[in-house]
Amino acid sequence: MAQKADKVVAVVVIKNNKKRLSKVIIAAATLGITFPLTAAILPADRLDALIHSYDGGGMEINGPSLLIRKMLGTSTSVSANYYVDSISSASIDVITSASPYKEKRKEHSVGVEYLHYKSIMSFNYTNSEENDFSAKTYSVGISQDFFGDLTTLSMGYARGKDDVMRIEKRTDGTKSLDPNFGTKYADRHNFRLGLSQILSKHLIAGLNYELITDKGFLNNPYRTVRFADGSANEFEEYPNTRSSNAVTAQLKYYLPYRAAVSGEYRLFSDTWGINANNIKLAYTHPIDKEWIIDLRYRHYDQSRASFYSDVFNTPGAQTFMARDKELSTYTNQTLGFSLSYDLAQQGWKFIDKGSINFAFDHMMFDYQDFRDASVTGVPIGTEPLYGFSSNVMQVYLSVWY
């Protein structure tokens, strides 16, 4: 996962009170730019073993991941990945509207990449399972080099299908699927278009566009909203459609002493009224021949969804209601570093080379219109604004063979 020109971004899926619109948090060592740096080439045979840990906001997530890639001949590469999240949650959402819980999410994925001259075609399938949630995703992609391999155009499409259920707790303490809720469905489509350009021997630029359309049951089956008069809570109700657009611009500059600086700006908007900005800066520095250190900073801010409110006036006041803090107005800042050490640079038995890596990110969340409802003794809607910090750690080993 830590090859200099081909680092893989690992992700940890963070869920708050079984939130189905999962928040994806970048937590692995990365140079910051993920567009191709060379002519069309298949990934080398490689084995990656990862252990990740997340701790913050009353939630703990940890588990392993194993990824293997293998060339078949000279034009085909296959891959398989196994990923596990063990989740223990007593987050602010959970303690104010549900009971703390523990669960395990298992994810399996397989992929095929095919190289034809200057084109690479990819096909992937991912299946994720929990006790009350199932997701399947199919994706295809193609990239093509032009103009002496200085320009790369890429396109992709992904189709996802989610099955959402709800667990109910009986009076005797046992749990089972809620027959009154049944099974809800969501259908997701993702379209991607990217362009990368080598501007000079030191400078690379990239521009990417992404369109996502969702339809079906899009909210959390457990989260509730609250009202100013203190009346009984009701479950959230979201629109059954959502479309979003995102544009990302990237730059990477290689410095004379083998180091690199990179920057990224991402602009996001959707039909729920959310507008967001994301800025990332990174610096990569080699130390001798074996060590590489990455330093990074990320700033994110967004406006709230049009149907979000921390407190609603009365039940039934509007058709759609949400109190998901991830749909509120908030900012997030992340400081992180990664350290990579190259192993067996001259090879060892069947191993061509390897690396061992450590990554750490400290994340800080500040919410402008989401209040800490766990605070008692004050009028509803006057509680202090909520905020928390979290730490994400990863240790992973990569072996090329």
- Consecutive 10-residue runs of the chain (401 residues): their mean pLDDT? 33 34 29 44 92 94 96 95 92 79 92 94 97 96 92 97 91 83 96 96 96 97 90 88 98 92 98 98 92 97 97 90 96 98 79 92 98 92 96 95 89
- Amino acid letter for position 376: T
85 bridge partner residues: 105
pLDDT in the model for residue 36: 42
Q: Are 308 and 328 in contact (CB under 8 A)?
A: yes
Domain boundaries 11-400, corresponding CATH code: 2.40.160.40
pLDDT in the model for residue 38: 44
Output the DSSP codes for 322-344: B--GGGSSEEEEEEEEEEEEEE-
pLDDT in the model for residue 28: 28
| Burial of residue 319, with CB atoms counted within 10 A of its CB: 0-12 exposed, 13-18 middle, 19 or more buried | exposed
Q: Please state the domain extents for the chain.
A: 11-400
pLDDT in the model for residue 309: 96
pLDDT in the model for residue 174: 80
pLDDT in the model for residue 170: 79
Tokens of 79: 């891959």
pLDDT in the model for residue 30: 31
pLDDT in the model for residue 17: 37
